[in-house]
Amino acid sequence: MRKKKNIILENIKLLTAGAKGVAIGKTEDGKTVLVSGAIPGDSVNVRVKKAKSKYYEGEAVEVLEKSPFRTEPKCIHFGTCGGCKWQNMSYEKQLDFKQEEVYNNIKRIGGIENFETMPILGSEEQYFYRNKMEFSFSNARWLTQYEISSEENFGSKDALGFHIPGMWSKILDLKECFLQEDPSNAIRLAVKEYAVENGLDFFDVKNHEGFLRTLMMRQNSKGEWMILFQLFREEKETREKLFAFILEKFPQIKTLVYAINPKANDSIYDLDINVYFGEGYLMEEMDGLKFKIGPKSFFQTNYKQALELYRKTLEFADLKGDEVVYDLYTGTGTIAQYVARNAKQVIGIESVQEAIDAAIEHAELNGLTNTTFYCGDMKNVFNDEFMENHPKADVLITDPPRDGMHQKVVEQILKLAPEKVVYVSCNSATQARDLALMKEHYTLVKILPVDMFPQTHHVENIALLIKK
């Protein structure tokens, strides 16, 4: 069998950013090159990983000329860790490329022209913006090429950190992370140090054994913290000594919870959560609305920017107080409740029962009597019978997952024909696909990209549609 040829494309000038944060260049004969490991403005040599008829995919192996947009990454783990891949690009250019991506998707995929593009809403905080982080314990620390080839003993193979992209069994042992504010780093490092010093065994993914599995940290805007440990087995004395150590060292911890997880995966949603200290949840407030955040709760991870997103969604909806509003993919009802104070009635639909339970609880907590929530698969619940049994929507808000809306849901919106649709999206490509299906009946008035995740290629977008 012939060995695959190692193709190197030389001196490729990278012109712009593409989907999933890759940089895009052209060969001399005009063929597109999608490059990882570099940024727009760089000139690079590229090792080809995939050669297609219309384009190449590859990775930068040498930077010949550095982009003027380059910045020095803050984190020592940059390039190994799978997060913050744009940390080596100025924040201003990150915003430019995100705005361009959203605009291009709406035009190319959506086939829509003549809409207003509002300037992207950048995040006030470019670092330390996440209120929730999850870390994994492993007895198989990721080793650098130098460590592998060296005869030296580099000490413990235990790690507490992130999974290496594409290598689920290997964990990068984090020394620092700039995503969650202090004392996040201090708590993680103290837990690791205590566990190593006291001989607590870290999880072995391959053999499915070991005491410590995962560590999750959540905080609210008041600086109160929740800690969640996943343990493979119960060891009461060992567990209580670890918890007592952490609670004594970090008085910011408002509640500490744990789960015993002997399963094959780390998902907590089917596990019983045990409260060791505190109430088992944190309270959060957004413009006067209260939310109870438990270990399994979905809540936007960038609190300040989420608040801006909700404010802009309400602004786009432009409610006068007498409207019936439908909120599709309502989640825990955050947007539904945020707009309810300006509407006659809000009806939310969501497929996850726990989320609906939380939405109902939050509505009661906030004294909202004009919200109703329904649970079920969107394409099955949001049907003709549903519309017959509920008042017609004047305004429809939709905030679907990355895959966008099911075609049946889009068809049902067109049947319902609300005067106004506000479409919040975390994936402008699937949003553009859905808007294309609606463009005969609705005019896209304006879009507003919102940056929820600085240092990454991810971008949200709010679109306002008015019935023709």
- C-alpha to C-alpha distance for 327 and 390, rounded to whole angstroms: 13
- C-alpha to C-alpha distance for 234 and 23, rounded to whole angstroms: 48
Determine the pLDDT at residue 154: 64
Tell me which architecture the domain covering 8-70 has in CATH. Answer: Beta Barrel (2.40)
Residues flagged as binding site for S-adenosyl-L-methionine: 300, 329, 350, 399
Q: Do domains 94-125+302-467 and 132-286 have the same CATH topology?
A: no
Residues flagged as binding site: 300, 329, 350, 399
Determine the pLDDT at residue 156: 75
- C-alpha to C-alpha distance for 423 and 434, rounded to whole angstroms: 10
Determine the pLDDT at residue 150: 66
190 within 8 A of 252, measured Cβ to Cβ? no
The full set of domain ranges for the chain reads 8-70, 94-125+302-467, 132-286
Handedness of CA 246, 252, 254, 255 (dihedral sign): negative
- C-alpha to C-alpha distance for 220 and 363, rounded to whole angstroms: 19
The answer to whether residue 426 is catalytic is yes
Domain at 94-125+302-467, CATH from 3.40.350.10, 3.40.50.150, 3.40.1190.20, 3.60.10.10: 3.40.50.150
284 within 8 A of 221, measured Cβ to Cβ? yes
Q: What pLDDT digit, counting tens, does each position of 263-316 carry?
A: 999 999 899 999 999 999 999 999 999 999 999 988 889 999 999 999 999 999
Q: Whose structure tokens read 């109430």?
A: 279
**Residue 373 to residues 294, 329, 347, 354, Cα–Cα distance (Å):** 20, 11, 6, 12
In angstroms, how far apart are the furthest CA atoms of the chain? Answer: 74
- Which helix H or strand E contains 410, and what residues bound it? helix 407-416
Q: What pLDDT digit, counting tens, does each position of 1-34 carry?
A: 344 568 899 999 999 998 888 999 999 888 999 9
SS3 275: strand
Phi, psi of 92 (to 5 degrees): -60, -45
Residue 426 has pLDDT above 90, yes or no: yes
Determine the pLDDT at residue 298: 85
Which one from 81, 84, 177, 426 is the annotated catalytic residue? 426
β-bridge mates for residue 141, sequence order: 171
- C-alpha to C-alpha distance for 388 and 81, rounded to whole angstroms: 51
C-alpha 404: how far from chain center: 15
- CATH number listed for the domain at residues 132-286: 2.40.50.1070
Q: Whose structure tokens read 């650098």?
A: 144
